[in-house]
Structure 1
């Protein structure tokens, strides 16, 4: 494939908003090879290993753990990289190359719920015997994770797991039976950084206590602290190591180079948000008004705009095939909708990827129809939720 066909810098904003990023078009085998190499480099020889979600909440936990182990990286190289990215001749905000950074004694392996098992397998394969292992902001789909967890506990000195998602009781019992110290916070009251902060029971500096509080404001979609949007954007645009190092040093009071970088990236971000909001339709599903749209965009801001238009819940379908579901005071059942379509999450924020893509023709249809099939499948999940309520009432 010609690289120019997937180069974001050479396509119009309209087309860019309808298509996935360049990484989508890389074969999974290449992604797996790169992920395995990076994980091995981070795990081998580490004093402790953290398997964490790569969002602001999971990475805040890593910052706390590196502080506890006195294992934070030097922030200066990352600040220099930020300045270089803002130079006129730079590649418009591409993140720094993690291969050129040093490794911390507390190794970081980022994972999603779908790649959790593979990440833990790598810990079991590459970690030194007696290592401390932490899993943060990740919830297994089912009990099939148990064998992998047992392999990790057999290798490690201790395994501690901090999370705040909605766990199945049997899955939680199986993980604990495998020898894990599992702490699950209330998903509508705490983020995982809160859970880690209280569970580690250490004398953390004030800027990291503040980091957990602002992360909660973003992750639970409270939206009372303007700094939470900065954390969310920075976690999305920076490499995991950069984010952990910078917030570990400064907390939510991000330094000037980061603020300048965010301002630079937000110009295009706002334009993509406008495109998604313009495409949105409102649907009545029983007592709920559901806003549905499509595009590569920042889902929280789009959902906020749709809520201002009267939506109780919002569905933002992404070009890569996944979707974000956001709620409000009028709808706190996003996780119940997502669970019907291969996903999960929280009452007011959840994600999913319907199992409807068999080949590239299905994706081509997805892009050219602006996610028509995915929209229909998720709206049907809202309707089933309503039908279940009516059956229960009867």
Structure 2
């Protein structure tokens, strides 16, 4: 294949899994960051990232989307952009591990995109496994080790001792400094470095901030329901991560579903949903226009004006409103065990 002489573009998720997936593809192709373009995005704004590079794409270039799930709000925009990109003679690959509707997979395939959705591993695992097959590379033992560490945290397996450390050490805040750290981590992975003194120093700094943030967030916790117990908190700081907060909430409150609520605007909140084995939060997120995994998903919720006004001075009112809505969706969608009766 001619990928050695053509430009590589990667649009990847804004987390460790996305970082690992981008690094895996570049390592397999023998490419460095300085001769490639890596863009971080979320499922809800991926069409913006695509639109930003269309004019730069040339015949023979490669575009990879990694760890980005389908989103009902923009899947048709992505489809139309892909048709234009394929007309330019660009090779498009989409590697993902989120739950997709089959019709969305077929829609993207119809553009000539090579899309692979494999829910058995994390996004980095999909990118590494299938890139090696597609580009005829021998099995890379480093990428196997990297996949195991990333999957341990991203899909909540926690079966690798490096997973929790790597999850925290790869964290980067918003802004230029955060972007520089993400690129630095990608370079480390490309070069076969999974842990070093710099990663350890970043981990130490993260843990200090994590411990400071826990008390404030968990002090807002509220619970609702019995047939499906929902716990909710309001989160207005980046650290600790949603996944760490969610795990702590599920443990402390003995709830089935944890909801981390963050303001996105006056009458809009983002929701990070985490669950135990018996609850499927992907179904709940899908009902709200979002998506993800059975045990970890995300979505947004538009608030009535009265809730928005009251929540400006009373966050507990907001939390109670949201978790009651989640409880209702959980019951109506049969996404949580309902053998017990409601409080």
TM-score range, shorter chain: 0.7 to 0.9
Q: CA RMSD in A?
A: 2.5
Say whether 1:151 aligns with 2:55: no
Deviation per CA, 1:302-351: give whole Å up to 9, x if none.
222222221221111124431211011232x1111112223211100011
Equivalent positions of 1:294-313 (< 5 A) are 294-295=234-235, 296=237, 297-309=240-252, 310-313=254-257
- Equivalent residues, number: 310
Matched-pair contact (CA < 8 Å) for 1:312–1:328? yes
Q: 1:389 to 1:334 in 2, by over 3 A?
A: closer
Which of the numbers 182, 194, 210 marks the counterpart of 2:125?
194
- For structure 2, list consecutive stretches of 5 or more residues without a partner in the other structure: 173-177, 339-343
Which of the numbers 245, 261, 264 marks the counterpart of 1:317?
261
Q: 1:210 to 1:382 in 2, by over 3 A?
A: same
The aligned residue for residue 134 of structure 1 is 64
Aligned partner of residue 103 in structure 2, secondary structure: helix
- For 1:313 and 1:126, how far apart are their aligned partners in 2? 44
Structure 1 residue 366 displacement after superposition: 4.1
The aligned residue for residue 121 of structure 1 is 51
Equivalent positions of 1:358-373 (< 5 A) are 366-370=311-315, 372-373=317-318
Which of the numbers 186, 196, 203 marks the counterpart of 1:255?
196
- For 1:222 and 1:246, how far apart are their aligned partners in 2? 24
- For 2:57 and 2:304, how far apart are their aligned partners in 1? 36
Structure 1 residue 233 displacement after superposition: 2.2
Say whether 1:281 aligns with 2:281: no
The aligned residue for residue 104 of structure 2 is 171
Which of the numbers 286, 304, 329 marks the counterpart of 2:277?
329
Say whether 1:72 aligns with 2:12: no
Aligned partner of residue 326 in structure 1, secondary structure: strand
In the superposition, the TM-score normalised over structure 1's length comes to 0.72
In the superposition, the TM-score normalised over structure 2's length comes to 0.82
Say whether 1:233 aligns with 2:164: no
Structure 1 residue 356 displacement after superposition: 3.0
- For structure 1, list consecutive stretches of 5 or more residues without a partner in the other structure: 1-44, 74-103
The aligned residue for residue 341 of structure 2 is none
Structure 1 residue 121 displacement after superposition: 1.7
